[in-house]
Amino acid sequence: MPRKTPKKLPDEAAIRALASRESFERGRDYRRDGAVSDLVMRGEEVGAAVAGSDVAPYRVTVRIADGHIREARCTCPYEWGGACKHVVATLLTLVEEPQAVAERPALHALLDPLDRDALVGLILRRVALDPEMAGWVEAEVATSLSPGGGAPVDPRPVTARVRAVLTGRYRRENYWDGYAASGDSAELRALVERAVPFLEAGDGRNALRILEAVAEPLVEGWLGQQYDSDEDLYRLFHDLGRMMAEAALTSDLTEAERADRAATLADWDESLADYGVEEGFGIAIRALETGWDDPALADILDGGAGPWPPEESDDLEDLELTDVRLRVLDGFGRHDAYLNLARAAGAHTRVATMLVGLGRIGEAVAHAGSHVTQPSESLILAEALSQAGRPEEALAIGEAGLRLGEAPSGEPWSPGRTVVPLARWLREAAGAQGRADLALRAARTAFAQTCAQEDFQAARISAGTGWPAVRDDLIAHLIAAERARDRAEILLGEGMVAEAVACVRKGTAYETDDAVLLRLMEAAHASHPDWVIRLGESRAEAIMQAGSAGQYARAAEWLTPVAAAYDAAGRIDAWSARIEGLIETHRRKYKLRPLLEALRY
């Protein structure tokens, strides 16, 4: 049924921030072309089918809470950073076409009233239709024991489920398409995460049983199928190694058991290395071999002098293993040992945040003043102080971090000064505490590095009545910036049409979003008709020549301000001749021709 009560949904800016520019633009095209279907909202979860390059549509799942996008998944093989075009298309359809959304009860609301027999019957009926579900149920039940309860996890259903997922990972489409990824890497990761409750409970032995049950068939699958281009599995091997290391350090394994497991992992690691997997199980092997037995480590945990790892070690695995050791010490509540190891390892942010957690605020601030050197570190500590109910100290740490990221007078901004996340946090936090001066300083710092629309508008709010002078400074910086994705959009929003056109001319039009260019062309059709005509006709011509019927409406969009520009320049006869020529040239394109005819004056 149609959605009756509008929920708080993300806006276009939030969707744009989720994806790369190319993915957003492609997603917007998909939405306009009607690629999204079966759009259903169940509580916080939105599902949809999106037509793509595969025969079957891709399935998109998005979770939205309080207007924020909490999670987004798609069954397509996209892995180049940010959300894929199918997720973007789904979200844009959700926001721009609410009438297309069917609202249904959340699954938990449907299942809650059912008694045990009804639920069991429901599952068994589904298993009869989907035989693979039986293996999934077995793996879920096997790993659902109470962590720390003493009962051993049966690893066999987990291993069987991993093999089933990997077997389906590649399927034969047809002779020309070859093999296409179809296995669910998300399910593999979910199986790995079944070990997390056991790790948190200090039940390292059962955590290892689960992780090894996943790793063994995963290694076999890699060697058997040579998934050398699958970035998901590369990352999964790395995460498995870290989690195995943590499990080894929390387990009660005997020395012989440790040696046996380390030998198995070493064999797997050696085999994987032949296929280019550099981050395998080395950290877990090191954890199994060393445990907590190193005398130098024991001395540091008791408060002895560092450094740790020893100066002669420059192995990244030693540094990573130290991070795992800190997690384990924190989990066991060994706070003094944690602080001692963190100091010896130079993990100053961890020292400070642990001190905050222990309520030792003065020590935390003093430690930060002496050791924190990066804005990103200041942000972590400032957020910890804020969450601990210490806003004044949080602002002080944030302000100090802001100075760490600000370029000295006369020097250019450096990409290495990653101050933007801190500046944005400080801008909001200082504003909430009535520190308008600090909020504005943070806002200006953020915009100076990003030249982004969101930071420009945030600076407007922070500046209050002083906005005119601040605006002039920011605009001057924006125009002079070497790169600024939102430059034309900001200038257009400020009514500076000529400046926006000049900036687009100076760079390339492809640096500006199409939607902004179209708005700029509409605003500039009378003042800059020649520019509007050249740009609009070139974009429309490229689309029409490509012959993609689904894009013809976009060609008409580009030509609409072109027609207005001809008219404003007193050249309407020239436009009439131009449009008639286009109609004749593309007369056989039955979807394009009526769009062109509608542009006649």
Of 372, 394, 371, 390, the closest CA to residue 382 belongs to: 394
* DSSP for residue 592: T
Position 329 confidence tier, pLDDT thresholds 50, 70, 90: very high
> What is the band of 225 on the pLDDT scale with cuts at 50, 70, 90?
low
Beta strands in 188-347 (DSSP E): none
- Give the whole-number percent of the chain exceeding pLDDT 70: 89
**Residue 306: its pLDDT value, please?**
76
User: What's the mean pLDDT in 289-300?
Assistant: 92
Per the model's pLDDT, the better-predicted residue between 78 and 407 turns out to be 78
Cis peptide before 295 (omega within 30 of 0): no
Whats the size of the chain, residue-wise? 601
Q: Mean pLDDT throughout 410-419?
A: 54
Regarding predicted confidence, which is higher, 359 or 547? 359
The count of other CB atoms within 10 Å of the CB of residue 496 is 17
DSSP string covering 190-207: HHHHTTHHHHHTT-HHHH
pLDDT at 115 over 80: yes
Residue 226 reports pLDDT greater than 60: no
Output DSSP code: residue 308. S
Q: pLDDT at position 312, please?
A: 56
Mean pLDDT confidence for 188-196: 91
Q: Quick one: which of 78, 1, 74, 90 has its CA closest to 37?
A: 90
Residue 482 pLDDT: 85
Q: Cα angle at 478 between 476 and 479, to 5 degrees?
A: 70
Average confidence score pLDDT of the chain: 87
From CA 500, how far away is CA 509, in angstroms rounded? 11
Domain locations in the chain? 12-111, 132-291, 525-597
Q: Check pLDDT > 50 for residue 380.
A: yes
The torsion angle over the Cα atoms of residues 78, 80, 85 and 88, rounded to 10 degrees, is 120
What is the reported pLDDT for 3? 45
Q: Under 8 Å CB-to-CB from 553, ≥6 apart: which residues?
A: 32, 595
Amino acid identity, position 491: L
Report long-range pairs for 530-533 (Cβ below 8 Å, ≥24 apart): 530/565, 530/569, 531/501, 531/505, 532/561, 532/562, 532/564, 532/565, 533/562, 533/565, 533/566
Q: pLDDT digit string (tens) for 489-509?
A: 999 999 999 999 998 887 655
Query: Average pLDDT, stretch 205-224?
Result: 88
583: tokens are: 């109609």
The pLDDT of residue 2: 45
pLDDT digits (tens, 9 = 90+) for 466-489: 999 999 999 999 999 988 889 999
**pLDDT tens digits, residue range 21-55?**
788 888 988 998 889 999 999 988 999 999 887 77
Name which residue leads in pLDDT, 238 or 39. 39
Question: What is the pLDDT at residue 4?
Answer: 47
What are residue 494's phi and psi, to 5 degrees?
-90, 10
CB-facing half-sphere around the CA of 597: CA atoms within 13 A: 9
Under 8 Å between Cβ of 241 and 278: no
Residue 513, pLDDT score: 83
Question: Which of 105-114, 352-361, 424-433 bottoms out in mean pLDDT, i.e. has the lowest?
Answer: 105-114
Nearest to 211 by CA among 246, 258, 176: 246
376-383: average pLDDT: 95
- Which strand (E) or helix (H) includes residue 575? helix 572-585
Please state, in angstroms and as integers, the Cα–Cα distance from residue 60 to each residue in 28, 51, 79, 87, 95, following that order.
15, 11, 15, 6, 15
Cβ-contact 375, 354 below 8 angstroms: no
Q: What is the pLDDT of residue 274?
A: 76
Burial class (CB in 10 A: 0-12, 13-18, 19+), 55: exposed
Residue type, position 107, single letter: L
Give the pLDDT confidence score for residue 405 in this predicted structure. 78
Distance CA 391, CA 477 (A): 32
**Angle at Cα 499 formed by Cα 498 and Cα 503, nearest 5°?**
120
According to the model, what pLDDT value does residue 12 have? 86
**Which is nearest to 405 in space by CA: 422, 386, 388?**
422
Q: Using 50, 70 and 90 to split pLDDT, how confident is the model at 511?
A: confident
pLDDT for residue 331: 92
d(CA 92, CA 88): 6
Lowest mean pLDDT among 4-13, 276-285, 546-555: 4-13
Q: How much is the pLDDT for 189?
A: 87
In the block, residue with structure tokens 């059962």: 206
Token representation of residue 506 = 């100076």
Per-residue confidence (pLDDT) for residue 232, from 0 to 100: 62
Give the β-pairing of 36-42 and 102-104. parallel
DSSP label of 269:
H
End-to-end, the C-alpha distance of the chain in Å comes to 43
Give the mean pLDDT of 138-146: 90
355-357-362 Cα angle (round to 5): 40
